[in-house]
Amino acid sequence: MGSVSLTEASRALSDASEVMAGLMARFGPARFGPKPTVGERFEVLSREIAYQQLAGKAAAAIWGRVRDQTPLWAPDAVLALGEGPLRDAGLSGAKTRAMLDLAAHCEQGSLDLAKLGRLSDQDVIDQLTQVWGIGTWTAQMFLIFSLRRLDIWPVGDFGVRKGYGLAHGGTEPPTAEELEPLGHPFRPYRSIAAWYCWRATEV
Q: Widest CA span of the chain, in angstroms?
A: 53
Enumerate the H helices of the chain as residue ranges. 6-16, 18-27, 41-51, 56-67, 75-81, 83-88, 93-108, 121-128, 136-145, 158-167, 176-182, 190-200
Chain mean pLDDT for the chain: 95
pLDDT digit string, tens, across residues 50-80: 998 887 788 999 999 999 999 999 999 999 9
Are 50 and 95 within 8 A, CB to CB? yes
Residues in the chain: 203
pLDDT digit string, tens, across residues 16-27: 999 999 999 999
CA-based end-to-end distance of the chain: 30
pLDDT digit string, tens, across residues 107-149: 999 999 999 999 999 999 999 999 999 999 999 999 999 999 9
| List of domains in the chain | 6-32+152-200 (1.10.1670.40), 38-145 (1.10.340.30)
- HSE-CB at 22 with a 13 A cutoff on CA atoms is 9
